[in-house]
Amino acid sequence: MPPVRPRVPLVVLAIFAGLLASVWLAGLYAERRHWSELDIEARGQLELYAQSLRILVERFRALPAIIALDTEIQALLQESSDPSARERLNRRLQRLNREAGVGVIFLLDLQGTAIAASNWREPGNFVGGNYAFRPYFQGALREGSARYFGVGATTGVPGYFLSRAVRDAGGRTLGVLALKLVMEDLQRDWAGQPGILLVVDRQAVAILASRPAWRFRLLQEPAAAEPPRPVDARRYGIREVRPLALQPLRPLDGGGELLRIDGPEGRRDYLRLSQPLADEGWTLELLREARVPGAAVRSYGLAAAGIWLALAFLFLFLGQRQKNRRLLLRRRAELERLVEERTAALRKAQDELVQAAKMAALGQMSAALAHEINQPLTAMRMQLGSLQLLLAKNDPAAMRTCLERIDGLLTRMAALTGHLKTFARDTPGGLRERLALDTVVDHALLLLEARIRQDAVRVLRLRAPRAWVEGNAIRFEQVLVNLLHNALDAMAGRARRELRIALRRDGGDWLLSVADSGGGIAAEHLLRVFEPFFTTKPVGEGLGLGLAVSYGIVRESGGQMEVGNTGDGAQFVIRLPAAAPPDTLQAGSQEG
């Protein structure tokens, strides 16, 4: 099949392309799923961290304001020279600090000098130190309160400073109360958690980090193409703030982002989630290492490949089946058309054969017919001669007898020629009518009457006027003429010449038998007599078509024909399904 060939590689190519595409898409899907799962997990984690940070700051937010209301503090600020009062305050701050769990609580006068501190007894304590330059001091003087993250000037420990201006009843500022929150513990708690947690301040510097190497690094966003602002490194207690270049890869559906960082642990890809802490002006950043799960991608790809191949083969199979079915239907239609054509051709050939056989029979009959017609003509000429004599004698009675004889002779001749005409007519095999078998036998005998008389054949008949069958009368007549003809041929030159034609009922059929005394058919010929062109007669006399055509005619009418030997001759039996008589009365009148 030439149109199929070029399609095969195309199909293979399409399947292969589909395979690649499905594996690729499945990988993409697996990755996306992984990211979204990770995103959800990380978001929960981030929310938790934000909460703990918020709680920590919140707990201490009000504390400076409350302590600032203390009258003892106000009194000391107004009269700071009393050493015993100073020590009392130191002790109080120490106790407060211990109970609240803050880092350090300390009090500054208007010049920024610490006059009391909770760590007054510790080495490197704040007392006496001047913090006028610190933003939390300046902010509190300016705005009443301030917050500031920075490394302690004295201790070098980073902390979150919360400050509050101390005012007297008249609203006059006396000094500043400050509180330093040390967040190292919180940071240590984070260390064991998955991912890298960063608290980034307004300057984009990580002030807290779950991994120490990330602390005090500058997160450099590439979007900010402007030159990085100079960062005050002293504030964080280090010499230089080293930047970390963030290279964004792509945003994720959940609001996260994939980015690449040349971090302390080398160049890695991270999933980054941020949450702003608006009150402090910080941003909480969570970085989760973004390793695409190879196993998941592989198994998704494998599953997709399997599904794709199964579908592709299913479609191929269905397509092939459809094609086969179409082909089969087309072949069947072609075959049916062929059978119809052949049947029509066969029918036509058969009709032609029947006609040819009939003509052959007519040819065989012609000699007898010439004799048949010649005889009455001679007889009539004699009768006419007698008539002339009788006319002279004027004997009307004898003349009438003479004329009656002539009339009889003419009637016979008319009947014979009429039959011959009908017999010779070509009748299509399809024609069917109801007919009486007796009449068919009558007509056939009439056609062969001359020969029968000439050969002095005795005809014995068993009639059955109710023997009605369906079929074509002319064709049945042809069958009978054939049978009778063969019988007469067989009996020619035999001492006993007897023809027995009988009609009998057998169940739902009529049996028409024609038997002769012609010596029968040789056993080896019995099976062959119905074959076309089988003849034992000399060339020119027999065509071997008569019985073959007769057999065909009987079969076509739904009947059967058999041959055998009985007594001293052959017997042909035709079996035809009985038809209902057209009218019982009419059938009755024909009887007898």
Binding residues (CB under 6 A) for ligand ADP: these are: 482, 486-487, 490, 516, 518, 521, 529, 534-537, 542-544, 546-548, 570
d(CA 340, CA 346): 10
Minimum distance from CB of 352 to ligand ADP (Å)? 17
Minimum distance from CB of 426 to ligand ADP (Å)? 20
Minimum distance from CB of 535 to ligand ADP (Å)? 3
Minimum distance from CB of 555 to ligand ADP (Å)? 15
DSSP string, 31-80: HHHHHHHHHHHHHHHHHHHHHHHHHHHHHHHSHHHHHHT-HHHHHHHHST
Which residue number, 544 or 581, has a Cβ lying nearer to ligand ADP?
A: 544
Minimum distance from CB of 496 to ligand ADP (Å)? 14
Which residue number, 196 or 521, has a Cβ lying nearer to ligand ADP?
A: 521
Minimum distance from CB of 509 to ligand ADP (Å)? 22
Which residue number, 546 or 559, has a Cβ lying nearer to ligand ADP?
A: 546
Minimum distance from CB of 528 to ligand ADP (Å)? 8
Which residue number, 11 or 526, has a Cβ lying nearer to ligand ADP?
A: 526
Minimum distance from CB of 525 to ligand ADP (Å)? 6
d(CA 254, CA 252): 6
Please, what sign has the CA dihedral across residues 102, 108, 114, 116? negative
Q: Which residues pair with 261 in a beta bridge?
A: 246, 268
H and E: helices and strands count for the chain: 14, 19
d(CA 189, CA 192): 7
Residues 197/188, Cβ–Cβ less than 8 Å: no
Q: Token pair of 588, please?
A: 């009755």
Which residue number, 464 or 549, has a Cβ lying nearer to ligand ADP?
A: 549
d(CA 348, CA 426): 12
Phi, psi of 545, deg, nearest 5: -105, -25
d(CA 464, CA 477): 17
d(CA 115, CA 83): 10
Minimum distance from CB of 440 to ligand ADP (Å)? 18
Which residue number, 59 or 528, has a Cβ lying nearer to ligand ADP?
A: 528
Minimum distance from CB of 481 to ligand ADP (Å)? 10
Residues 271/255, Cβ–Cβ less than 8 Å: no
Which residue number, 152 or 542, has a Cβ lying nearer to ligand ADP?
A: 542
Minimum distance from CB of 479 to ligand ADP (Å)? 10
Write out the H or E segment, with its range, that includes residue 236. Answer: none
Minimum distance from CB of 547 to ligand ADP (Å)? 3
Residues 531/551, Cβ–Cβ less than 8 Å: no
Which residue number, 209 or 547, has a Cβ lying nearer to ligand ADP?
A: 547
Q: Give burial (CB, 10 Å; 0-12/13-18/19+) of 157.
A: middle
Radius of gyration for the chain, computed over Cα atoms and rounded to the nearest angstrom: 66
Which one, of 403, 487, 476, lies nearest residue 442 by Cα?
476
Minimum distance from CB of 388 to ligand ADP (Å)? 46
Which residue number, 464 or 479, has a Cβ lying nearer to ligand ADP?
A: 479
Which residue number, 536 or 586, has a Cβ lying nearer to ligand ADP?
A: 536
CA distances from 121 to 84, 180, 262, 561 (A): 15, 17, 45, 143
d(CA 509, CA 559): 9
Minimum distance from CB of 513 to ligand ADP (Å)? 12
Residue 128 has a CB neighbour count (10 Å cut-off) of 10
Minimum distance from CB of 544 to ligand ADP (Å)? 4
Which residue number, 177 or 490, has a Cβ lying nearer to ligand ADP?
A: 490
Residue 147 has a CB neighbour count (10 Å cut-off) of 20
Which residue number, 447 or 490, has a Cβ lying nearer to ligand ADP?
A: 490
Q: Give burial (CB, 10 Å; 0-12/13-18/19+) of 561.
A: buried
* DSSP collapsed to 3 states, 164-204: EEEECCCCCEEEEEEEEECCHHHHHHHCCCCCEEEEECCCC
Which residue number, 53 or 521, has a Cβ lying nearer to ligand ADP?
A: 521
Q: Token pair of 537, please?
A: 């007669």
Contacts for 305 with CB less than 8 Å, ≥ 6 apart: 19, 22, 23, 26
DSSP 8-state symbol, 102: -
Which residue number, 106 or 551, has a Cβ lying nearer to ligand ADP?
A: 551
For strand 282-289 and strand 433-436, is the pairing parallel, antiparallel, or unpaired? unpaired
Which residue number, 159 or 552, has a Cβ lying nearer to ligand ADP?
A: 552
